């Protein structure tokens, strides 16, 4: 890993038939594939009868200014694929399990194939923009292209932190175009959600009821332990999440939150018998959390198809969207919905919110009754 070095050698005098001023310093040179060696350089500054030692020292300062900067220039000649290998070893293990899987997938399927033959220093803004444009032509969703851009930006940020890069991040000025959803955001109607709940087994039904009632992520529901359920107050504390076999803290600090259970308290009471252990998962088999993918594949989606209201993209996220939409229809503010979701920004909550036409029609009628109703005649 590169480290900034500072050299300021003494100006020396070489004696002989024609004395001259010179300096000796170490320069890093690239030899072979990404291998850097230190070589000593003798640099002649000028003949002693042509320049004074003070002038030679000024020449020395100019030369060493460039030499002391070039550690980044040398390091940036590392192959992009080799730096990504470092990035994957040093940075990706620090991420949450879900993010690790996404990063490795996008790096392996898109980013490395796109830049494998390039050096880090060859990847300018134009090359990265061309890559992002090509992914748009391939039909990748806006959010996927946004992830690709963010990962590339993060790679250059770490390259800067670790001494492999200096200067402006070349990803910063790239764009991915206007956001366009690949499919329409939808939720079930009140009747449809009741039909779905009526046809599910008790345990799966409670998980779906929890999602539509609280807006919890399915990973938070899967990782919910009995000790986090406060039956006396009717509350649940979101402090953990379970994702693909890994238990971890919630996605963000704001994801740690307390949510009301309302009428679900009695259903949770039945799942917390006397003598139960607080560390036990609420929804489990043989002590391990249920697999949300299996529930979706084997129970929830087949039932939605049977009932005739399955749509592309229907799943656990639909229930979270259902909650955040309906609590706002029932009077919750955007900031209250943000707190319910555990989001860090209101704009993210707005991505989950569907403003129904019927509600807007009622708002228009109220506005018209208020503003456009005929005024009484002036006497």
| pLDDT tens digits for range 93-131 | 888 777 888 999 999 999 999 998 898 888 999 999 999
Q: Using an 8 Å Cβ cutoff, are 169 and 158 in contact?
A: no
Taking the whole predicted model, whether its pTM rises above 0.75 is answered as no
The residue ranges of the chain whose pLDDT is under 70 are 1-5, 28-37, 69-75, 180-183, 352-361, 363, 373-379
pLDDT, position 5: 64
Question: What pLDDT shows up at residue 356?
Answer: 60
DSSP one-letter string for 106-160 = HIIIIIHHHHTTSBGGG--HHHHHHHHHHHHHTT--HHHHHHHHHHHHHHHHHHH
Distances, alpha carbon 267 to alpha carbons 202, 205, 207, 221, 270, in Å: 9, 10, 11, 14, 5
CATH 1.10.443.10 residue ranges for the chain: 190-359
Please tell me the number of Cα atoms within 13 Å of 17 on its side-chain side. Answer: 0
The position carrying tokens 């890993």 is 1
Q: Quote the pLDDT of residue 225.
A: 93
Q: What is the pLDDT of residue 30?
A: 56
The structure tokens 């042509």 sit at 50
pLDDT of residue 357: 60
- pLDDT on residue 379: 59
pLDDT at 36: 62
Residue-level pLDDT at 277? 86
Comma-separated ranges of CATH 1.10.150 domains in the chain: 80-161
CA 86 to each of CA 37, 220, 345: distance values in angstroms, whole numbers, following the listed order: 20, 32, 32
Backbone CA torsion sign across 329, 185, 142, 152: positive
Class of the CATH domain delimited by 190-359: mainly alpha
Predicted pLDDT at 91:
92
Residue where the block lists tokens 């539509």: 212
- Return the CATH fold of 80-161: DNA polymerase; domain 1 (1.10.150)
């Amino acid at each position: 890993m590169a480290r900034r070095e500072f050299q300021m050698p003494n100006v020396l005098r070489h004696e002989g038939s024609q004395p001259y001023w010179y300096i000796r310093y170490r320069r890093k040179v690239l030899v072979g594939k990404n291998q850097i060696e230190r070589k000593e350089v003798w640099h002649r500054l000028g003949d002693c009868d042509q320049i004074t030692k003070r002038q030679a020292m000024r020449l020395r300062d100019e030369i060493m200014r460039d030499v002391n900067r070039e550690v980044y220039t040398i390091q940036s000649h590392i192959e992009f694929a080799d730096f990504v290998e470092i990035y994957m070893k040093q940075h990706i293990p620090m991420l949450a399990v879900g993010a690790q899987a996404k990063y490795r997938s996008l790096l392996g399927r898109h980013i490395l194939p796109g830049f494998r033959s390039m050096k880090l220093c060859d990847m300018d803004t134009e090359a990265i923009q061309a890559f992002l444009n090509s992914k748009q032509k391939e039909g990748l969703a806006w959010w996927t292209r946004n992830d690709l851009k963010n990962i590339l930006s993060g790679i250059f940020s770490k390259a800067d932190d670790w001494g492999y890069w200096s200067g402006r991040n070349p990803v910063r000025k790239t764009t991915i175009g206007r956001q366009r959803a690949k499919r329409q955001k939808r939720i079930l109607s009140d009747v449809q959600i009741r039909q779905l709940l009526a046809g599910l087994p008790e345990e799966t039904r409670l998980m779906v009821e929890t999602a539509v009632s609280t807006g919890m992520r399915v990973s938070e529901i899967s990782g919910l332990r009995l000790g986090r359920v406060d039956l006396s107050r009717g509350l649940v504390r979101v402090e953990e999440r379970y994702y693909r076999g890994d238990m971890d803290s919630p996605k963000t600090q704001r994801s740690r939150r307390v949510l009301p259970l309302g009428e679900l308290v009695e259903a949770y009471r039945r799942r917390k018998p006397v003598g139960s252990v607080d560390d036990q998962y609420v929804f489990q088999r043989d002590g391990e959390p249920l697999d949300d993918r299996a529930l979706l594949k084997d129970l929830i989606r087949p039932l939605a198809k049977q009932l005739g209201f399955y749509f592309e993209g229907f799943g656990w996220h639909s229930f979270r969207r259902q909650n955040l939409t309906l609590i706002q229809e029932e009077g919750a503010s955007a900031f209250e919905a943000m707190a319910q979701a555990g989001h860090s920004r209101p704009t993210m909550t707005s991505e989950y919110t569907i403003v129904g036409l019927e509600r807007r029609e009622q708002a228009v009628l109220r506005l018209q009754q208020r503003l456009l109703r005929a005024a009484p005649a002036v006497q």
